[in-house]
Amino acid sequence: MQLSCTSASFAPLSFESAVTVIGLLGLDLVDVDCYMDSNHVPAEVIAADPGAAAARIREAAERAGLGVCQLFFTFGRDFADRAANSPSESVRTENARVVRAMASCARDCAAHGLTTLPGVVWPDLGPERSFDLAVQALRGLVDICEAAGIPLQVEPHLDSVADTPAKARMLIDAVPGLRLTLDYAHFLVQGSTAADVHDLLPLTGHLHARHAARGHLQTSARRSELDFADIRRRLSQIEYGGDICLEFVPFRDWGGVEEVDVLSQTATLRDLLRAP
């Protein structure tokens, strides 16, 4: 299992500088922050010129001695803005255009895959119809990515249509070819335990790793309720073929995220995951 780190961990830096830091941490790969509001490689920049974006990503990664793991992108500037399961057909059509560009960029920079978000619950539609729209939209996006030879993953998250382990499983079951980018933290923050999440590991194509606890989407190793040594053993037992991305993030006021020393927490978890 190769270890990656998201460039978003070092969001205050330029993309090239963030990748350099990740290389200095002795990791294998970089996950590229392509959120629409990112100051690294936003999806709208990739959509405008996927070839140029791929060249930039590839050059920065090669200079740092890294491979490219995932391009993690959103369609809009918050969860509801141009969500994958937008009720608007024209928005979904535009989203498909963005995914074609993202898949082209991922292929050209030799990324292992793409990750995006599954969509939100629309108050006017309710949970069931919102979930059905996500299934419909994601089936089309999987087809686009498969045609380009790029795997597509979605990250079940707080405030999404897949905010529980059961809903995440339902989504994967309903969309052939789709895999999870699994982050235990999004379930723990809501009161689930790690044991509630373990059964999703066989459905997982990519794993996000950071310390978390009930009520806290991010915390320090000292306060963590996650046993990553146990998670690593479980991944080995199922012969997990994906990568693990260390995903500590700078402080933001969402999900009880606690401000941590991103650099030291990343290095500490790196060593735990590499321990014999």
Average pLDDT, the chain: 97
Q: Compute the distance between CA of residue 138 and CA of residue 243 in angstroms, rounded to an integer.
A: 22
Inter-CA distances, 53 with 23, 150, 158, 250, Å: 20, 17, 30, 24
Q: Give backbone dihedrals phi and psi of 70, rounded to 5 degrees, phi first.
A: -120, 145
pLDDT (0 to 100) of residue 73: 98
Q: Which of 170, 48, 41 is nearest to 114 (CA)?
A: 41
In this predicted structure, the answer to whether residue 142 has a pLDDT above a threshold of 80 is yes
* pLDDT of 251: 77
pLDDT for the residue numbered 150: 98
Q: Which residues contact 51 (CB under 8 A, 6 or more apart)?
A: 104, 105, 108
Position 160 pLDDT exceeds 90: yes
What type of residue is 260?
V
The conformational region for residue 256 under phi > 0 = left, psi -120 to 50 = alpha, else beta, is left
Domain at 3-274: CATH code: 3.20.20.150
For 224-238, what is the mean pLDDT? 97
pLDDT band of 163, cuts 50, 70, 90: very high
Split at pLDDT 50, 70, 90, the class of 10 is: very high
- Give the separation between CA 218 and CA 214, rounded to whole angstroms: 10
In 130-175, DSSP assigns E strands to 152-154
Residue with tokens 């990664």: 61
pLDDT tens digit string along 143-154?
Answer: 999 999 999 999
What was the pLDDT predicted at 36? 95
**Which residues fall within 8 angstroms of residue 107, CB to CB, at 6 or more apart?**
54, 148, 149, 150
**Is this model's pTM higher than 0.95 or not?**
yes
CA dihedral angle for residue 114, residue 192, residue 1, residue 152, rounded to 10 degrees: -20
Contact between 85 and 96 under an 8 Å Cβ cutoff? The reply is: no
Cα separation of 196 and 184, whole Å? 9
pLDDT digits (tens, 9 = 90+) for 87-120: 999 999 999 999 999 999 999 999 999 999 999 9
Task: Specify the pLDDT at position 217.
Answer: 96
Collapse the DSSP code of 231 into the 3-class scheme (helix H, G, I; strand E, B; otherwise coil) and give the result.
helix
Distance CA 271, CA 265 (A): 10
In the chain, domain spans? 3-274
Is it the case that residue 70 has pLDDT exceeding 90?
A: yes
pLDDT of res. 214: 96
Among candidates 168, 57, 53, which has minimal Cα distance to 117? 168
Residue 156 pLDDT exceeds 90: yes
| Residue 233 identity (one-letter amino acid) | R
**Higher pLDDT residue, 43 or 254?**
43
* CB of 111 closer than 8 Å to CB of 69: yes
Does residue 253 surpass a pLDDT of 90? no
Task: Give the E-state strand segments of the chain in sequence order.
Answer: 3-6, 29-34, 67-73, 113-116, 152-154, 179-183, 204-209, 243-246
